[in-house]
Amino acid sequence: MPFADAATLLAPLAPWFDAVRRPMPWRAGDLDAPHPDPYAVLVSEIMLQQTQVATVIPYFLRWMGRFPDAASLAAGTEDEIHGLWAGLGYYRRARSLQGAARAIAEGGFPRTLEGLLDLPGLGPYTAAAVAAQAFQLPTPALDGNAFRVAARVLALEDDPRRHAGALRDWLAPALAAHGPSRLTQAVMELGATVCTPAPRCASCPLQGACAARVLGIQDRIPPAQPRTKVTEVEIHLAAIASGPGWLLRPPGAKGLLAGLWSWPSAGAVPAFQGAAEPAAAYGIEGREPAGWIQVYSHRRETVRPIVARVASEAAPPGMEWVRADRLSDLPMGRRDQRLRDAVDAPGAPLTAAGLNALREILAGS
């Protein structure tokens, strides 16, 4: 089905955005010129991935105070970066941002969509959003908000992500006509404040042109996504001390834990059959502070923490002993930070299941 002309359909968005836009520390004053600081746009877009504007603003200001340009970020230490990012979540984004800064410090800021896509951590949405806002390129940036707005304006009743290519082709002339930076931000703003999942059509500048509104089907567009299956797991997470150090897993290069230290863990296993064995027989003293539920997008972990001290021994494979005075500076994910905060907390006596988990960890299995 051919889509109605986007430049005409979306024309009311441009003056609406000029009237309602809120000042943000990364927003340029002149929406018709290239942005004076493309690095600031890049930082804001990476921070805004999965995080609300109000949360991002103080982090952005602190970050730009310490790392005002790509060269300073390229030379930043892991500890500084972690300290400034702690609390924003998804720490991988900070490492990607530093990777992008290093590429920029070495080769200059890419000024094409293809060049931006080559930077670490930039997917199609972020690269297009930076290209449009920093360089005024008519590259449509489609995130969840933009897909929702486009799907409703065009009354697309199936998953709009299936039409990503066609929607980009449809939007590009509207960006060229009304200003790539202005229209990109206008669509984002409309999706964030008016065309929200429960839309406020009476306040919408597109209400006269929106096909879903005309048909009265806006509430069912886009269709609800099937719920993702959440895996339930139970783990023992162990802070094990020996002599002056703690036993930890160093950061992996890739994956969810890239750049983050973690405590060793073992899946919850049944306690030994028969009589409980005394921990002291293994040179182990330990306690079990209060546990908690750690929720991730696809996983719910029941965390059973253990704090233990063992007689000195070689670190199991994939782990190392880290001096206690370094512990507070290590970058860690939220779950592991929580145990770090509890290493001095009181706890119940070590259970047979906890002892079993410690032995499993120390045996490297």
Residues that bind ligand SF4 (CB under 6 A): 149, 152-153, 194-195, 199, 201, 204, 206-207, 210, 212-213, 218
What span, in angstroms and rounded, lies between the C-alpha atoms of 199 and 63? 34
Q: State which residue, 129 or 210, has the beta carbon closest to ligand SF4.
A: 210
Tell the smallest beta-carbon distance from residue 233 to ligand SF4 (Å).
Answer: 40
Tell the smallest beta-carbon distance from residue 182 to ligand SF4 (Å).
Answer: 17
Q: State which residue, 215 or 230, has the beta carbon closest to ligand SF4.
A: 215
What span, in angstroms and rounded, lies between the C-alpha atoms of 111 and 4? 30
- Of 233, 279, 256, 248, nearest to 343 by C-alpha is 248
Tell the smallest beta-carbon distance from residue 21 to ligand SF4 (Å).
Answer: 17
Which residues make Cβ contacts (< 8 Å) with residue 184, sequence separation at least 6? 128, 129, 132, 133, 140, 141, 175
Tell the smallest beta-carbon distance from residue 176 to ligand SF4 (Å).
Answer: 21
Residue listed under structure tokens 């982090």: 59
List residues bridging with 302 in a β-sheet.
Answer: 234, 293
- Of 45, 50, 84, nearest to 64 by C-alpha is 84
Cis peptide leading into residue 289 (ω within 30°): no
Structural contact between residues 320 and 250, judged by C-beta atoms closer than 8 angstroms: yes
- Of 154, 222, 146, 151, nearest to 183 by C-alpha is 146
Tell the smallest beta-carbon distance from residue 141 to ligand SF4 (Å).
Answer: 17
Q: State which residue, 47 or 221, has the beta carbon closest to ligand SF4.
A: 221
Tell the smallest beta-carbon distance from residue 225 to ligand SF4 (Å).
Answer: 18
Structural Rg of the chain based on CA atoms? 25
45 is catalytic: yes
Residue 67 exposed, middle or buried by CB count within 10 Å (0-12, 13-18, 19+)? buried
- Give helix 124-135 / helix 180-193 axis angle, nearest 10°: 130
Q: Among 45, 288, 301, 360, which one carries the catalytic annotation?
A: 45
Residue listed under structure tokens 């997917």: 123
Q: State which residue, 97 or 211, has the beta carbon closest to ligand SF4.
A: 211
Which residues make Cβ contacts (< 8 Å) with residue 120, sequence separation at least 6? 96, 99, 100, 103
- Of 321, 306, 289, nearest to 355 by C-alpha is 306
Q: State which residue, 86 or 155, has the beta carbon closest to ligand SF4.
A: 155
Tell the smallest beta-carbon distance from residue 203 to ligand SF4 (Å).
Answer: 8
What span, in angstroms and rounded, lies between the C-alpha atoms of 122 and 192? 21
Q: State which residue, 154 or 235, has the beta carbon closest to ligand SF4.
A: 154
Residues constituting the chain: 365
Q: State which residue, 187 or 310, has the beta carbon closest to ligand SF4.
A: 187
Give catalytic residue positions.
Answer: 45
